[in-house]
Amino acid sequence: MINTARLYSDLSRLGRETDMFLATVASLSDAEMAAPSLCEGWSRADVIAHVASSGRALVNLIDGAASGVERQLYASPEARSQEISALAALPREELLDELRESARSFAEQAQRLNAELAAPDVSVNGKVIPATSIVALRIAEVVVHHHDLDTAWTIEEADPDSLLNAIEAVVRSLRARGVPGITAVTEERDEWVIGDGALHVRSDREGLLLWLARGDSEHIEADGLLPALPAW
């Protein structure tokens, strides 16, 4: 069972990050939504649609944790792509409504994590994570994809603990994908080891997240050549 105080703290931060994301999205015109995002091949509308779709999909994991019956995020990669494309094609106001409803539903359903869970772990894209990490994963998605919208909002506006959630989510994914060994240390004295930890890299939390998730090495110091990392 998740610590009640921790759950409500996480949900409070998720609410803050989501409110900022919603404010940014609401400020975009039709033309701005159609413009490219920082996610290769995706418009801003695609990113927004992905965040809306993912919020609904993560509720499946909550259902699985609560019931003990394994649930997947999506029926298939094709189903995921089709849902995102359909949402992105909606008129601006309808897409906004879908995003708001997805956020509301996830926050409501996440309260179920405060009960005794039938399944303590869930599978996310082939990676097993504690069910108690579902809210932190959602925080990570909102923060990283807010950055992907490439607007006046900057990653420095995210809560420091939300940055930690995002880095931990990305590191977990990189470990599962067998990337070259890295020891990542932040100015805030956080440390993560991936693989054999051979390459030492340093930055603040914001800079580390942008490199690990999006390959932006502007604020990274390293003891050797930086490897190309898969996008998160």
At 127 the pLDDT is 81
Q: Which domains does the chain have, with CATH numbers?
A: 4-153 (1.20.120.450), 161-232 (3.30.1050.20)
Query: pLDDT tens digit string along 75-119?
Result: 889 999 999 999 999 999 999 999 999 999 999 999 999 888 999
pLDDT at residue 2, as a whole number: 56
Question: What is the value of pTM for the model shown?
Answer: 0.94
Q: What is the 3-state secondary structure (H, E, C) of the chain?
A: CCCHHHHHHHHHHHHHHHHHHHHHHHCCCHHHHHCECCCCCCEHHHHHHHHHHHHHHHHHHHHHHHHCCCCCCCCCHHHHHHHHHHHHCCCHHHHHHHHHHHHHHHHHHHHHHHCCCCCCEEEECCEEEEHHHHHHHHHHHHHHHHHHCCCCCCHHHCCHHHHHHHHHHHHHHHHHCCCCCEEEEECCCCEEEECCCCEEEEECHHHHHHHHHHCCCCCCEECCCCCCCCCC
